[in-house]
Amino acid sequence: MQSVKLNNDVEIPILGFGVYQIPPAETEQAVIDAIQAGYRHIDTAQAYANETEVGSGIKNSGVAREELFITTKIWVENVSYDGVMNSFQGSLDRLGMDYVDLLLIHQPYNDVYGAWRAMNELQKSGKVRAIGVSNFAVDRVVDLSLFNETKPAINQIEINPFNQQTEAIEAIKAEGIVPEAWAPFAEGKNNIFQNEVLSEIGQKYQKSVAQVIVRWLMEQDIVVLAKSTKPERMSENIDIFDFSLTDEDKAAIATLNIGESQFFSHSDPNMIKMLADAKLNF
């Protein structure tokens, strides 16, 4: 598995398995199947309510913890110094681990600076190997980077053919921060799996639309999170190391860019209020 070196020299596998919206009852087996398919990078979060099942899947996978890269995220209500310190141990307990490889602030709200100080302390203590953010606009992530002892290692954001975020990605990389793509398949929106441009590129290489998208992101040195509960899809999504896209292919994919989120705006006041009201049940 190819990896990307973070700004603190920790290496992260470029392909990850995300468990967002996988029901807890299915998560353990999905994690086992993903690891058996070859994934060594698993991404979860406090808000996904399946950290316990992720931990069980890892424990029962037959692969040593040290061979895996595990990410979890701090939810909005816990984004403060005390919130991180009080909630992170709960994440470790649910995962059944002594440390995680990457800890992210899940959304750019609440006391981000206080949370970052706590995360920096956790990193120094060895309970976290790298720290980063998720869903931060470029100005917010640069601000955090400039005025703190430790700059974010990663910004996990929505990146897909309809929301390519080219300028944001360039700006993030210029700060020494690795971009990581969630929803690379736009959760199937706009009939993406039957998209004519992507399908034609896939036919040329005898690859699926999903494989073309993952390859397109990987060739930009973007860490990619893919999700499926079907073992055959897991294996397919990771089988992207035997072909390369041409400049013509990339130019064709560039024409698909709508330039806006396929889900919601993180600057929408109503969305901020909704996320602030979304409380965890543990």
pLDDT digits (tens, 9 = 90+) for 106-163: 999 999 999 999 999 999 999 999 999 999 999 999 999 999 989 999 999 999 999 9
Residue 263 has pLDDT above 90, yes or no: no
pLDDT, tens only, 152-209: 999 999 999 999 999 999 999 999 999 999 999 998 888 999 999 999 999 999 999 9
Taking 90 as the threshold, does the pLDDT of residue 260 lie above it?
A: no
Mark whether 81 is an active-site residue. Answer: no
Tell me the average pLDDT across 89-102: 97
pLDDT of residue 6: 97
User: What pLDDT is recorded for position 149?
Assistant: 86
226 phi and psi angles, rounded to 5 deg: -120, 150
Angstrom CA distances, 262 to 164, 228, 231, stand at 11, 19, 26
pLDDT value at residue 157: 97
Parse the chain into domains and list their residue ranges: 3-277
- C-alpha distances (whole Å) from 172 to each of 101, 142, 156, 179, 251 are 21, 8, 11, 7, 22
pLDDT above 90 for 267: no
Q: What is the 3-state secondary structure (H, E, C) of 130-149?
A: EEEEECCCHHHHHHHHHCCC
48, 109, 113, 205: which is the annotated catalytic residue? 48
Q: Whole-model pTM?
A: 0.95
The CATH code of domain 3-277 reads 3.20.20.100
Question: What is the torsional sign of CA 34, 36, 41, 42?
Answer: positive
Which parts are annotated binding residues for substrate?
Answer: 106
Which residues contribute to the annotated binding site? 106
Residue 93 pLDDT > 90: yes
Task: Quote helix, strand, coil % in the chain, to nearest 5.
Answer: 45, 15, 35
